[in-house]
Amino acid sequence: MKRTPNNKKIVVPGFKFSGIKSGIKKSGEMDLALIFSETPAVTAGVFTTNRIKAAPVKLAIKKIASNKGQSIIINSGNANACTGKQGDKDAKKINTELARKLGISEELVYVSSTGIIGRPLPVNKIEKALPELIKNLSPASMDKAAAAIMTTDTFPKLASKKIKINGKTGTIAGIAKGAGMIRPDMATMLCFLFTDIAINAKALDSALRKAVNKSLNRLTVDNETSTNDTAMIMSNGNLGNTPLTKRSSYYKKFEGALSGVTYELSRMIAEDGEGATKIIEVVVNGARSESDAEKAASAIANSMLVKTAVYGNDPNWGRVISAAGASGAKLIENKIDIFFNKVKLVSKGIGTGREKTASTLLAGREITITINLGAGKQSTKVLTCDLTEKYIEINAHYTT
């Protein structure tokens, strides 16, 4: 989906970024990013649920228990997944070499990768590029880092929020990539978040998990889970506030702002789904339980028939009700209502005959499909996109 570039510069005090070309990608585009905190930061992370985990993910999972970090290096174009013991050695080698050049402990460095699975990581290219990568670090280069982590993305994804803590203005910001292999549980998704607001490790981990669950885990493009999914956050405390805890009066404010940043990034990922022309928000109301709401929403959002219907401006509500019915969620047929945007197409389980009106509205870029299951009071939302011929074209030739 075409998008107007966001040229707004985002700065988080105490953080520097860079993005360069190292030669990993045949296209010659930027493929190496660096995130650096001027001081060690409280760090939290969540990672892929796929049982096949990339080498850098396995390394990060071992380290994250310390809740400490200072730098993250990310390469795009190569996933360093399914590369055996050599892949593990390569991830550690990059970790060690970057730490040495930055003059910090290896335990404070994290490595992340995204791209084609099963190919050896070109370690020599990355090592050779490290001096330039470090030299280019700048507080104003978050956009370059965001561009350098892209694979099939068509635009860099950045978002930020500011909140007041005891009269001081703090910043929460983030970058993300992801356009394909996207389904609930973060897939193929890299998301790196940064804040100058001081917060303790337990509270930061809790806030991150809640934010991810409300946004990145409510996102699907093609129902595929990646080997490399990563969401990390670093807090360097540069603002100088007393570190927040879960009991702090400002904690909920922080939690809400962080969720706002991750939700905005999630919308960008859905908007940029491979070959997508429309972003779709699936809203489920009237579910018996939260689990039922999620089942129905995911079934609708992942339905190829629903996604292709939206692409063709076809308000085929039969595909929506069928997906909900097959999801396993409890529903009461004669209480079901379905809306495409604000047009009510089903009332108490029966069509209203307003397809022509709805079809006109489906020509827009943002579509909301709402279904009330009539079985309770729980609700949820899931983001997805339409399915087009372009998706097939992109993925039929991805490794070539």
- Active-site positions read 188
First to last CA, the chain: 22
Let me know the angle formed at the C-alpha of 136 by 131 and 137, rounded to the nearest 5 degrees. 105
Query: How far apart are the C-alpha atoms of 365 and 370, rounded to whole Å?
Result: 16
What element of type H or E holds 146?
A: helix 142-148
**CB-CB contact of 371 with 336 (8 Å):** yes
Measured over the CA atoms of residue 121, residue 122, residue 127 and residue 132, the dihedral's sign is negative
Separation CA 312–CA 57 (nearest Å): 39
Please say whether the beta carbons of 368 and 339 come within 8 A: yes
The per-residue DSSP string of 178-212 comes to: -SSS--TTT-S-EEEEEE-S-B-HHHHHHHHHHHH
Q: 252 burial class (0-12, 13-18, 19+ CB within 10 angstroms)?
A: exposed
Paired tokens of 53? 């985990």
Picking from 129, 152, 148, the residue whose alpha carbon sits closest to that of residue 19 is 148
Nearest to 285 by CA among 219, 329, 236, 246: 329
